[in-house]
Structure 1
Amino acid sequence: MVLDAPPATERIARVGYDYVVLDGQHGLLSARGILDGLLAIDAAATDTVGLVRVEANNATPIGRALDAGAAGVIVPLIDTADDAARAVAAARYPPAGIRSYGPTRSGLRIGPTPADADAATVVLAMIETRSALENVAEICATPGLDGIYVGPSDLCLAVGGKYPGDPDVADVFEAAITRIAKVAADAGVAAGIHTKNGDTAKRRLSEGYTFATVSSDLDHLQSIAADHLATIGLTNRREPGDPAY
Protein backbone atom coordinates (compact mmCIF):
# COMPACT_ATOMS: atom_id res chain seq x y z
CA MET A 1 0.00 0.00 0.00
CA VAL A 2 1.39 3.34 -1.02
CA LEU A 3 -1.60 5.55 -0.21
CA ASP A 4 -2.56 6.90 3.20
CA ALA A 5 -6.11 5.56 2.82
CA PRO A 6 -7.08 3.35 5.78
CA PRO A 7 -10.52 2.33 4.41
CA ALA A 8 -8.84 1.10 1.22
CA THR A 9 -6.20 -0.73 3.25
CA GLU A 10 -8.93 -2.39 5.30
CA ARG A 11 -10.71 -3.53 2.13
CA ILE A 12 -7.53 -5.04 0.71
CA ALA A 13 -6.85 -6.80 4.02
CA ARG A 14 -10.27 -8.47 3.81
CA VAL A 15 -9.64 -9.98 0.38
CA GLY A 16 -7.61 -12.92 1.68
CA TYR A 17 -3.94 -12.01 1.40
CA ASP A 18 -1.59 -13.45 4.02
CA TYR A 19 -0.05 -10.02 4.51
CA VAL A 20 -0.33 -6.42 3.38
CA VAL A 21 2.78 -4.29 3.03
CA LEU A 22 2.70 -0.61 3.94
CA ASP A 23 5.38 1.15 1.91
CA GLY A 24 7.24 3.58 4.14
CA GLN A 25 10.07 3.98 1.62
CA HIS A 26 8.37 4.98 -1.63
CA GLY A 27 4.77 5.24 -0.44
CA LEU A 28 2.89 8.42 0.46
CA LEU A 29 2.75 7.45 4.12
CA SER A 30 3.82 9.36 7.20
CA ALA A 31 4.46 7.69 10.55
CA ARG A 32 0.80 8.36 11.38
CA GLY A 33 -0.19 6.89 8.03
CA ILE A 34 1.67 3.68 8.84
CA LEU A 35 -0.05 3.48 12.22
CA ASP A 36 -3.48 4.06 10.65
CA GLY A 37 -2.72 1.45 7.99
CA LEU A 38 -1.81 -1.14 10.62
CA LEU A 39 -4.98 -0.32 12.55
CA ALA A 40 -6.99 -0.79 9.35
CA ILE A 41 -5.40 -4.18 8.69
CA ASP A 42 -6.25 -5.31 12.22
CA ALA A 43 -9.78 -3.92 11.89
CA ALA A 44 -10.33 -6.20 8.89
CA ALA A 45 -10.59 -9.04 11.45
CA THR A 46 -8.82 -11.59 9.27
CA ASP A 47 -5.58 -13.56 9.54
CA THR A 48 -3.84 -10.96 7.38
CA VAL A 49 -0.86 -9.30 9.04
CA GLY A 50 0.74 -5.95 8.36
CA LEU A 51 4.34 -5.59 7.25
CA VAL A 52 6.15 -2.29 6.74
CA ARG A 53 8.84 -1.55 4.22
CA VAL A 54 10.78 0.99 6.23
CA GLU A 55 12.46 4.01 4.71
CA ALA A 56 16.02 3.00 5.58
CA ASN A 57 18.21 0.49 7.39
CA ASN A 58 18.12 2.50 10.56
CA ALA A 59 17.02 1.65 14.09
CA THR A 60 14.62 4.59 14.32
CA PRO A 61 12.20 3.79 11.46
CA ILE A 62 12.51 0.06 12.14
CA GLY A 63 11.64 0.49 15.80
CA ARG A 64 8.86 2.95 15.04
CA ALA A 65 7.19 0.54 12.59
CA LEU A 66 7.40 -2.34 15.04
CA ASP A 67 6.16 -0.21 17.96
CA ALA A 68 3.14 0.73 15.82
CA GLY A 69 2.23 -2.94 15.54
CA ALA A 70 3.88 -4.25 12.38
CA ALA A 71 4.37 -7.99 12.33
CA GLY A 72 7.65 -7.45 10.55
CA VAL A 73 9.81 -5.12 8.52
CA ILE A 74 11.20 -5.19 5.00
CA VAL A 75 14.50 -3.34 5.05
CA PRO A 76 15.73 -1.73 1.80
CA LEU A 77 19.19 -1.28 0.32
CA ILE A 78 20.90 -4.16 2.07
CA ASP A 79 24.28 -4.62 0.36
CA THR A 80 26.20 -6.88 2.73
CA ALA A 81 25.83 -9.35 5.57
CA ASP A 82 26.86 -6.56 7.95
CA ASP A 83 23.95 -4.46 6.66
CA ALA A 84 21.60 -7.39 7.26
CA ALA A 85 22.98 -7.90 10.76
CA ARG A 86 22.29 -4.24 11.58
CA ALA A 87 18.70 -4.64 10.41
CA VAL A 88 18.22 -7.72 12.55
CA ALA A 89 19.73 -6.00 15.59
CA ALA A 90 17.43 -2.98 15.14
CA ALA A 91 14.39 -5.26 15.26
CA ARG A 92 15.44 -7.32 18.29
CA TYR A 93 15.52 -6.39 21.95
CA PRO A 94 18.71 -6.77 24.03
CA PRO A 95 20.63 -8.94 24.42
CA ALA A 96 19.86 -10.15 20.88
CA GLY A 97 19.71 -6.64 19.44
CA ILE A 98 19.46 -2.92 20.11
CA ARG A 99 15.72 -2.23 19.85
CA SER A 100 14.61 0.20 22.53
CA TYR A 101 11.79 -1.09 24.73
CA GLY A 102 8.72 1.05 24.15
CA PRO A 103 6.24 -1.23 22.42
CA THR A 104 3.43 1.36 22.51
CA ARG A 105 0.82 -0.47 20.41
CA SER A 106 2.73 -3.61 19.44
CA GLY A 107 2.57 -4.88 23.02
CA LEU A 108 -1.15 -5.48 22.54
CA ARG A 109 -0.53 -8.15 19.94
CA ILE A 110 3.18 -9.03 19.66
CA GLY A 111 4.92 -9.83 22.92
CA PRO A 112 5.13 -7.69 25.06
CA THR A 113 7.81 -9.88 26.62
CA PRO A 114 10.96 -9.06 24.64
CA ALA A 115 11.84 -12.68 23.92
CA ASP A 116 8.31 -13.40 22.67
CA ALA A 117 8.33 -10.25 20.53
CA ASP A 118 11.69 -11.21 19.04
CA ALA A 119 10.41 -14.67 18.15
CA ALA A 120 7.27 -13.31 16.48
CA THR A 121 8.80 -10.40 14.55
CA VAL A 122 9.86 -10.97 10.94
CA VAL A 123 12.92 -9.26 9.46
CA LEU A 124 13.37 -9.35 5.68
CA ALA A 125 16.37 -7.93 3.82
CA MET A 126 15.82 -6.51 0.36
CA ILE A 127 17.95 -7.85 -2.47
CA GLU A 128 17.91 -5.07 -5.06
CA THR A 129 21.45 -3.87 -5.70
CA ARG A 130 24.48 -5.26 -7.51
CA SER A 131 26.30 -5.63 -4.19
CA ALA A 132 23.37 -7.48 -2.65
CA LEU A 133 23.28 -9.87 -5.59
CA GLU A 134 26.99 -10.54 -5.24
CA ASN A 135 26.65 -11.06 -1.47
CA VAL A 136 23.28 -12.81 -1.38
CA ALA A 137 24.65 -16.05 0.11
CA GLU A 138 26.32 -14.19 2.97
CA ILE A 139 23.21 -12.08 3.53
CA CYS A 140 20.99 -15.16 3.69
CA ALA A 141 23.35 -16.69 6.27
CA THR A 142 22.92 -13.74 8.66
CA PRO A 143 21.88 -15.04 12.09
CA GLY A 144 18.36 -14.00 12.98
CA LEU A 145 17.36 -12.99 9.46
CA ASP A 146 14.01 -14.51 8.54
CA GLY A 147 14.22 -14.02 4.81
CA ILE A 148 14.97 -11.87 1.81
CA TYR A 149 12.72 -9.82 -0.44
CA VAL A 150 13.53 -9.01 -4.05
CA GLY A 151 12.86 -5.53 -5.38
CA PRO A 152 12.65 -6.34 -9.11
CA SER A 153 12.71 -2.76 -10.42
CA ASP A 154 15.99 -1.85 -8.76
CA LEU A 155 17.40 -5.32 -9.38
CA CYS A 156 16.76 -4.89 -13.10
CA LEU A 157 18.72 -1.64 -13.02
CA ALA A 158 21.45 -3.35 -10.99
CA VAL A 159 22.02 -5.97 -13.70
CA GLY A 160 22.33 -3.32 -16.39
CA GLY A 161 18.78 -2.49 -17.38
CA LYS A 162 18.10 0.98 -18.69
CA TYR A 163 14.72 0.90 -16.95
CA PRO A 164 12.69 -1.64 -14.95
CA GLY A 165 11.59 -4.46 -17.19
CA ASP A 166 14.18 -3.68 -19.88
CA PRO A 167 13.97 -6.63 -22.31
CA ASP A 168 17.65 -6.25 -23.22
CA VAL A 169 18.63 -7.69 -19.83
CA ALA A 170 15.74 -10.14 -19.48
CA ASP A 171 17.98 -13.23 -19.52
CA VAL A 172 20.46 -11.99 -16.94
CA PHE A 173 17.62 -10.65 -14.80
CA GLU A 174 15.81 -14.00 -14.84
CA ALA A 175 19.05 -15.78 -14.00
CA ALA A 176 19.48 -13.51 -10.99
CA ILE A 177 15.90 -14.12 -9.87
CA THR A 178 16.41 -17.88 -10.10
CA ARG A 179 19.73 -17.78 -8.27
CA ILE A 180 18.36 -15.69 -5.41
CA ALA A 181 15.53 -18.15 -4.74
CA LYS A 182 17.94 -21.10 -4.75
CA VAL A 183 20.42 -19.43 -2.42
CA ALA A 184 17.64 -18.60 0.04
CA ALA A 185 16.31 -22.15 -0.07
CA ASP A 186 19.78 -23.57 0.54
CA ALA A 187 20.17 -21.23 3.52
CA GLY A 188 16.78 -22.18 4.94
CA VAL A 189 15.30 -18.69 4.85
CA ALA A 190 12.17 -17.40 3.14
CA ALA A 191 12.40 -15.75 -0.28
CA GLY A 192 9.86 -13.11 -1.27
CA ILE A 193 9.45 -10.89 -4.28
CA HIS A 194 7.30 -8.02 -5.45
CA THR A 195 5.32 -8.79 -8.61
CA LYS A 196 3.18 -6.73 -10.94
CA ASN A 197 0.23 -9.11 -11.19
CA GLY A 198 -1.19 -12.48 -10.18
CA ASP A 199 0.25 -14.31 -13.17
CA THR A 200 3.76 -13.18 -12.33
CA ALA A 201 3.26 -14.01 -8.65
CA LYS A 202 2.09 -17.53 -9.54
CA ARG A 203 5.13 -18.05 -11.75
CA ARG A 204 7.56 -16.84 -9.10
CA LEU A 205 6.00 -19.13 -6.50
CA SER A 206 6.39 -22.04 -8.90
CA GLU A 207 10.05 -21.09 -9.31
CA GLY A 208 10.78 -21.49 -5.61
CA TYR A 209 9.78 -18.21 -4.01
CA THR A 210 7.93 -18.74 -0.74
CA PHE A 211 5.83 -15.58 -0.88
CA ALA A 212 5.00 -12.91 -3.41
CA THR A 213 3.48 -9.47 -3.13
CA VAL A 214 0.96 -8.70 -5.86
CA SER A 215 1.06 -5.16 -7.24
CA SER A 216 0.02 -2.11 -5.17
CA ASP A 217 -3.12 -0.21 -4.28
CA LEU A 218 -2.49 2.43 -6.95
CA ASP A 219 -1.85 -0.19 -9.62
CA HIS A 220 -4.93 -2.16 -8.54
CA LEU A 221 -7.02 1.00 -8.81
CA GLN A 222 -5.70 1.96 -12.24
CA SER A 223 -5.95 -1.58 -13.61
CA ILE A 224 -9.54 -2.15 -12.53
CA ALA A 225 -10.62 1.29 -13.73
CA ALA A 226 -9.02 0.62 -17.12
CA ASP A 227 -10.71 -2.79 -17.31
CA HIS A 228 -14.10 -1.18 -16.71
CA LEU A 229 -13.48 1.32 -19.49
CA ALA A 230 -12.32 -1.40 -21.85
CA THR A 231 -15.45 -3.44 -21.11
CA ILE A 232 -17.68 -0.63 -22.31
CA GLY A 233 -15.41 0.21 -25.23
CA LEU A 234 -13.84 3.40 -23.88
CA THR A 235 -10.16 2.60 -24.09
CA ASN A 236 -8.85 6.08 -24.90
CA ARG A 237 -8.15 8.70 -22.28
CA ARG A 238 -10.74 11.47 -22.35
CA GLU A 239 -10.04 15.06 -21.41
CA PRO A 240 -12.43 17.57 -19.86
CA GLY A 241 -14.16 19.38 -22.73
CA ASP A 242 -14.12 16.35 -25.01
CA PRO A 243 -17.73 15.61 -26.11
CA ALA A 244 -17.31 12.00 -24.94
CA TYR A 245 -15.86 12.94 -21.55
Structure 2
Amino acid sequence: MTSVSHPDPGFAARLRRREPLVGYWISLDSPVATERIAGLGYDYIGVDGQHGVTHQPGWQAAMLAVDARGRSAGLIRVPSADPVAIGVALDSGARGVIVPMVENAEQARTSVRACRHHPAGTRSLGGPVRAELRLGSVPAEIDDRVACIVMIETATALDDLDAICATEGLDAVYVGPADLSAALGARWFGDPAAADTLEAALRRITETARRHGIACGIHVPDGESAAKRLAEGFTFATVSSDITHLQQAATAHLRAARGLADA
Protein backbone atom coordinates (compact mmCIF):
# COMPACT_ATOMS: atom_id res chain seq x y z
CA MET A 1 0.00 0.00 0.00
CA THR A 2 1.34 3.44 -0.94
CA SER A 3 2.17 5.62 2.03
CA VAL A 4 0.17 8.84 2.19
CA SER A 5 1.60 11.59 4.39
CA HIS A 6 -0.02 14.82 5.55
CA PRO A 7 2.35 17.19 7.39
CA ASP A 8 -0.26 19.34 9.17
CA PRO A 9 -1.54 17.69 12.38
CA GLY A 10 -4.41 20.21 12.56
CA PHE A 11 -7.12 19.98 15.18
CA ALA A 12 -5.47 17.47 17.52
CA ALA A 13 -2.34 19.60 17.77
CA ARG A 14 -4.36 22.71 18.55
CA LEU A 15 -6.29 20.82 21.21
CA ARG A 16 -3.08 19.54 22.80
CA ARG A 17 -1.69 23.07 22.84
CA ARG A 18 -4.84 24.03 24.74
CA GLU A 19 -5.76 26.70 22.23
CA PRO A 20 -9.23 28.23 22.74
CA LEU A 21 -11.56 26.39 20.37
CA VAL A 22 -15.26 26.81 19.62
CA GLY A 23 -17.37 24.04 18.12
CA TYR A 24 -20.93 23.32 17.09
CA TRP A 25 -23.11 20.29 17.77
CA ILE A 26 -24.95 18.23 15.16
CA SER A 27 -27.86 16.05 16.24
CA LEU A 28 -29.78 15.75 12.97
CA ASP A 29 -28.94 13.24 10.26
CA SER A 30 -28.71 15.83 7.48
CA PRO A 31 -25.41 15.99 5.57
CA VAL A 32 -26.73 19.01 3.63
CA ALA A 33 -27.31 21.01 6.81
CA THR A 34 -24.05 19.75 8.33
CA GLU A 35 -22.11 20.89 5.27
CA ARG A 36 -23.61 24.38 5.48
CA ILE A 37 -22.79 24.73 9.18
CA ALA A 38 -19.27 23.38 8.64
CA GLY A 39 -18.52 26.34 6.39
CA LEU A 40 -19.26 28.98 9.03
CA GLY A 41 -15.85 28.93 10.70
CA TYR A 42 -16.28 26.79 13.82
CA ASP A 43 -13.06 25.06 14.84
CA TYR A 44 -14.80 21.70 15.03
CA ILE A 45 -18.17 20.11 14.37
CA GLY A 46 -19.30 17.46 16.84
CA VAL A 47 -21.66 14.83 15.43
CA ASP A 48 -23.78 13.09 18.06
CA GLY A 49 -23.68 9.33 17.59
CA GLN A 50 -24.99 8.72 21.11
CA HIS A 51 -28.22 10.70 21.56
CA GLY A 52 -28.63 12.19 18.09
CA VAL A 53 -30.35 10.55 15.15
CA THR A 54 -27.12 10.02 13.20
CA HIS A 55 -26.02 6.44 13.76
CA GLN A 56 -23.10 4.50 12.29
CA PRO A 57 -24.35 4.35 8.68
CA GLY A 58 -24.53 8.16 8.70
CA TRP A 59 -21.17 8.91 10.32
CA GLN A 60 -19.22 8.78 7.07
CA ALA A 61 -21.69 11.06 5.29
CA ALA A 62 -21.44 13.55 8.14
CA MET A 63 -17.64 13.56 8.00
CA LEU A 64 -17.74 13.97 4.21
CA ALA A 65 -20.05 16.96 4.69
CA VAL A 66 -17.68 18.56 7.20
CA ASP A 67 -14.59 17.92 5.06
CA ALA A 68 -16.30 19.35 1.98
CA ARG A 69 -15.98 22.88 3.35
CA GLY A 70 -12.39 22.51 4.53
CA ARG A 71 -12.84 24.76 7.57
CA SER A 72 -13.78 22.61 10.57
CA ALA A 73 -12.58 19.35 12.06
CA GLY A 74 -15.20 16.63 12.30
CA LEU A 75 -15.59 14.82 15.62
CA ILE A 76 -17.97 11.98 16.47
CA ARG A 77 -19.45 11.27 19.88
CA VAL A 78 -19.59 7.49 19.95
CA PRO A 79 -22.23 5.63 22.00
CA SER A 80 -19.76 4.31 24.61
CA ALA A 81 -16.15 3.36 25.33
CA ASP A 82 -16.44 0.51 22.84
CA PRO A 83 -13.23 0.03 20.80
CA VAL A 84 -15.23 -1.22 17.81
CA ALA A 85 -17.42 1.89 17.69
CA ILE A 86 -14.38 4.13 18.19
CA GLY A 87 -12.61 2.41 15.30
CA VAL A 88 -15.62 2.81 13.01
CA ALA A 89 -15.86 6.52 13.87
CA LEU A 90 -12.18 7.12 13.12
CA ASP A 91 -12.28 5.05 9.93
CA SER A 92 -15.18 7.28 8.85
CA GLY A 93 -12.75 10.19 8.79
CA ALA A 94 -13.33 11.75 12.20
CA ARG A 95 -10.44 13.84 13.53
CA GLY A 96 -11.29 12.61 17.00
CA VAL A 97 -13.86 10.89 19.17
CA ILE A 98 -15.81 12.07 22.18
CA VAL A 99 -16.46 9.14 24.52
CA PRO A 100 -19.44 9.56 26.87
CA MET A 101 -20.01 8.36 30.43
CA VAL A 102 -16.37 7.53 31.20
CA GLU A 103 -16.29 6.82 34.93
CA ASN A 104 -12.75 5.70 35.69
CA ALA A 105 -9.17 5.61 34.48
CA GLU A 106 -9.55 2.10 33.06
CA GLN A 107 -12.33 3.23 30.71
CA ALA A 108 -10.22 6.25 29.76
CA ARG A 109 -7.27 3.96 28.93
CA THR A 110 -9.52 1.72 26.84
CA SER A 111 -10.71 4.76 24.90
CA VAL A 112 -7.20 6.06 24.30
CA ARG A 113 -5.89 2.68 23.19
CA ALA A 114 -8.79 2.32 20.75
CA CYS A 115 -7.62 5.57 19.12
CA ARG A 116 -3.99 4.44 18.72
CA HIS A 117 -2.33 1.77 16.59
CA HIS A 118 0.21 -0.81 17.81
CA PRO A 119 2.27 -0.52 19.96
CA ALA A 120 0.45 2.33 21.72
CA GLY A 121 -3.01 0.88 21.29
CA THR A 122 -5.44 -1.56 19.73
CA ARG A 123 -6.77 0.27 16.68
CA SER A 124 -6.72 -1.69 13.44
CA LEU A 125 -5.06 -0.01 10.46
CA GLY A 126 -7.94 0.92 8.18
CA GLY A 127 -6.16 1.02 4.84
CA PRO A 128 -7.59 2.89 1.82
CA VAL A 129 -10.76 4.22 3.43
CA ARG A 130 -11.91 7.73 4.43
CA ALA A 131 -9.35 8.26 7.19
CA GLU A 132 -6.36 7.68 4.91
CA LEU A 133 -7.39 10.48 2.57
CA ARG A 134 -7.27 13.03 5.38
CA LEU A 135 -4.77 11.62 7.87
CA GLY A 136 -2.34 9.49 5.87
CA SER A 137 -1.39 5.82 6.12
CA VAL A 138 1.55 5.90 8.55
CA PRO A 139 0.16 4.62 11.88
CA ALA A 140 2.22 6.86 14.16
CA GLU A 141 1.34 9.93 12.09
CA ILE A 142 -2.35 9.05 12.10
CA ASP A 143 -2.23 8.71 15.88
CA ASP A 144 -0.71 12.19 16.17
CA ARG A 145 -3.63 13.65 14.21
CA VAL A 146 -6.45 11.94 16.10
CA ALA A 147 -7.83 13.33 19.37
CA CYS A 148 -9.25 11.22 22.19
CA ILE A 149 -11.70 13.14 24.37
CA VAL A 150 -13.59 11.54 27.26
CA MET A 151 -16.66 12.95 28.98
CA ILE A 152 -16.98 13.66 32.69
CA GLU A 153 -20.67 13.25 33.49
CA THR A 154 -21.04 11.28 36.72
CA ALA A 155 -20.20 11.44 40.41
CA THR A 156 -18.06 8.32 39.95
CA ALA A 157 -16.01 10.12 37.29
CA LEU A 158 -15.48 13.02 39.68
CA ASP A 159 -14.21 10.57 42.30
CA ASP A 160 -11.61 9.25 39.83
CA LEU A 161 -11.01 12.58 38.07
CA ASP A 162 -7.31 12.88 38.89
CA ALA A 163 -6.55 9.39 37.56
CA ILE A 164 -8.65 9.96 34.44
CA CYS A 165 -6.82 13.19 33.63
CA ALA A 166 -3.49 11.45 34.22
CA THR A 167 -4.25 8.79 31.59
CA GLU A 168 -1.32 8.58 29.17
CA GLY A 169 -2.31 9.70 25.69
CA LEU A 170 -5.59 11.31 26.70
CA ASP A 171 -6.03 14.65 24.93
CA ALA A 172 -8.98 16.18 26.77
CA VAL A 173 -11.86 15.83 29.16
CA TYR A 174 -15.27 17.21 28.22
CA VAL A 175 -18.08 18.09 30.60
CA GLY A 176 -21.61 16.98 29.88
CA PRO A 177 -23.31 19.53 32.16
CA ALA A 178 -26.81 18.05 31.99
CA ASP A 179 -25.80 14.58 33.17
CA LEU A 180 -23.26 15.96 35.63
CA SER A 181 -25.80 18.27 37.23
CA ALA A 182 -28.23 15.36 37.61
CA ALA A 183 -25.46 13.31 39.22
CA LEU A 184 -24.92 16.17 41.66
CA GLY A 185 -28.55 16.30 42.75
CA ALA A 186 -30.29 18.55 40.23
CA ARG A 187 -33.92 17.67 39.59
CA TRP A 188 -33.62 19.09 36.07
CA PHE A 189 -30.87 20.75 34.05
CA GLY A 190 -30.64 24.31 35.33
CA ASP A 191 -32.11 23.50 38.76
CA PRO A 192 -30.91 26.44 40.92
CA ALA A 193 -30.68 24.17 43.97
CA ALA A 194 -27.68 22.42 42.39
CA ALA A 195 -26.08 25.44 40.69
CA ASP A 196 -23.38 26.10 43.28
CA THR A 197 -22.44 22.42 43.49
CA LEU A 198 -22.17 22.22 39.70
CA GLU A 199 -20.01 25.35 39.48
CA ALA A 200 -17.67 23.98 42.15
CA ALA A 201 -17.36 20.73 40.19
CA LEU A 202 -16.61 22.65 36.98
CA ARG A 203 -13.83 24.60 38.69
CA ARG A 204 -12.37 21.36 39.98
CA ILE A 205 -12.47 19.77 36.53
CA THR A 206 -10.78 22.71 34.79
CA GLU A 207 -8.11 22.92 37.49
CA THR A 208 -7.40 19.17 37.38
CA ALA A 209 -7.16 19.14 33.59
CA ARG A 210 -4.82 22.13 33.62
CA ARG A 211 -2.61 20.48 36.25
CA HIS A 212 -2.24 17.43 34.02
CA GLY A 213 -1.65 19.53 30.90
CA ILE A 214 -4.71 18.40 28.95
CA ALA A 215 -7.55 20.35 27.37
CA CYS A 216 -10.93 20.74 29.04
CA GLY A 217 -14.21 21.37 27.24
CA ILE A 218 -17.88 21.89 27.97
CA HIS A 219 -21.20 21.93 26.13
CA VAL A 220 -23.00 25.28 26.34
CA PRO A 221 -26.40 26.64 25.23
CA ASP A 222 -25.17 29.67 23.26
CA GLY A 223 -22.21 31.72 22.10
CA GLU A 224 -22.29 34.04 25.10
CA SER A 225 -22.00 31.06 27.43
CA ALA A 226 -19.10 29.74 25.35
CA ALA A 227 -17.20 33.01 25.80
CA LYS A 228 -17.90 32.94 29.54
CA ARG A 229 -16.67 29.38 29.99
CA LEU A 230 -13.53 29.98 27.92
CA ALA A 231 -12.75 32.98 30.12
CA GLU A 232 -13.19 30.76 33.20
CA GLY A 233 -10.51 28.29 32.12
CA PHE A 234 -12.19 25.88 29.73
CA THR A 235 -10.15 25.51 26.56
CA PHE A 236 -12.96 24.49 24.20
CA ALA A 237 -16.72 24.92 24.17
CA THR A 238 -19.43 23.40 21.96
CA VAL A 239 -22.43 25.55 21.15
CA SER A 240 -25.97 24.17 21.42
CA SER A 241 -27.16 22.03 18.46
CA ASP A 242 -28.75 22.21 15.06
CA ILE A 243 -32.07 20.79 16.23
CA THR A 244 -32.27 23.26 19.13
CA HIS A 245 -31.56 26.25 16.90
CA LEU A 246 -34.01 25.01 14.27
CA GLN A 247 -36.79 24.94 16.86
CA GLN A 248 -35.79 28.29 18.36
CA ALA A 249 -35.72 30.03 14.99
CA ALA A 250 -39.02 28.52 13.86
CA THR A 251 -40.67 29.48 17.15
CA ALA A 252 -39.39 33.07 16.96
CA HIS A 253 -40.71 33.50 13.41
CA LEU A 254 -44.09 32.02 14.35
CA ARG A 255 -44.42 34.38 17.31
CA ALA A 256 -43.47 37.35 15.13
CA ALA A 257 -45.96 36.36 12.43
CA ARG A 258 -48.78 36.16 14.97
CA GLY A 259 -47.79 39.35 16.73
CA LEU A 260 -46.64 37.58 19.88
CA ALA A 261 -43.01 38.69 19.85
CA ASP A 262 -41.73 40.13 23.11
CA ALA A 263 -41.88 43.91 23.23
Shorter-chain TM-score category? over 0.9
Q: Normalization by structure 1: what TM-score?
A: 0.93
- Post-superposition Cα deviations, 1:141-164, rounded to whole Å, max 9, x if no partner, equal 100000001000100011111122
**Does residue 166 of structure 1 match 2:184?**
no
Unaligned ranges ≥5, structure 2: 1-25
In 2, Cα distance between equivalents of 1:174 and 1:202: 16
Partner residue of 1:215 out of 240, 244, 247: 240
Question: 1:63-212 alignment to 2 at 5 Å?
Answer: 63-103=87-127, 104-212=129-237
Asked if 1:42 corresponds to 2:80, the answer is: no
Q: Which runs of 5+ in 1 are unaligned?
A: 237-245
SS at match of 1:144: coil
Using the TM superposition, give the Cα deviation of residue 220 of structure 1 relative to its aligned residue in structure 2, in angstroms: 1.2
For residues 144 and 70 of structure 2, the distance between their equivalents in structure 1, rounded to whole angstroms, comes to 23
Aligned AA (1:135) = D
Instruction: Please list the CA deviations of residues 215-242 of structure 1 after superposition, one character each: whole Å capped at 9, or x if unmatched.
Output: 0010111122223234445449xxxxxx
1:21 corresponds, among 46, 59, 73, to: 46
- State the distance in 2 between where 1:108 and 1:93 align: 17
**Contact 1:22 1:53 (8 Å CA) reproduced:** yes
Residues 234 and 52 (structure 1 numbering): CA distance in 2 closer, same or farther, change over 3 Å?
farther
Q: Do 1:226 and 1:235's aligned partners in 2 also have CA atoms closer than 8 Å?
A: no
Give the structure, 1 or 2, with the largest relative contact order (CA under 8 Å, sep 6 or more): 2
Answer yes or no: is 1:62 the counterpart of 2:92: no
Superposition RMSD in Å: 1.3
Identical columns (%): 49
Contact 1:63 1:90 in 2 (8 A): yes
1-side partners of 2:32 and 2:190: how far apart?
Answer: 32
Q: How many residue pairs were aligned?
A: 235
Task: Give the alignment's TM-score, normalised by structure 2.
Answer: 0.86
